[in-house]
Structure 1
Amino acid sequence: MLYRNFAIATLLGAPLLVMMVEAVVPKAPASPESVAMETADFVPQPVAPPVIAPQAPPVAPPANFGQPMPGAGQPTLVPGSGLPDAPAMTGTPAFSPLSAPPGSPNAE
């Protein structure tokens, strides 16, 4: 709740603070060059023609676009290619509700 109130106060107070600072801080005097630029007549400059870049040659889509990749349904790791032949868990499970200590939430 405290953070929400701080966020609201920040969103409302920041623009007011900026306006107050802009009203109090003195503005820099205008330089003679900027005053001369504002009062000078506008002289249009010639515009260069647009540069047209050459287009890249079209790229043909691959011949098998949309088709599955070869071997897409095959598993990437199979027994014999660095994996053990036997399953990781053998014998009794590592945990059963009967082996939980009394009073445990997992005990039955």
Structure 2
Amino acid sequence: MKTVERLSGDEDGVWRVTTVGSSYIVNLQRGIVTHLPGVGSNPTIKDLERPLRTLDACMVGEAGYWTMESDDFFTDFFGHHTITIQRIELLTGMELGKAAREVALQNINAMDGP
């Protein structure tokens, strides 16, 4: 599996960004990001698949930061800070299929609410 040290947003493909407690599916083909909370994480409004607005920081060994478009009339965008990123991997084949399933289930769970 291909891994990189950093994402700038200019790449193509679907990437899993893994932190200590969560992971994120960053789909640069579709311009969307989905937070997959780890065990014990509290649900947030950012857990639903959201259009990626900016990818400001995404580097192994550092905290990540990006913004996502909002569907709330009163909020321009959502910002998201991560804890230290441990791994960034390109998803292909079976791993890409598994990630698509995880995203679909996360979207269903997020729409059900906390």
TM-score range, shorter chain: under 0.3
Of Structure 1 and Structure 2, the greater strand share is in 2
Larger RCO: 1 or 2 (CA < 8 Å, sep 6+): 2
Higher helix share: 1
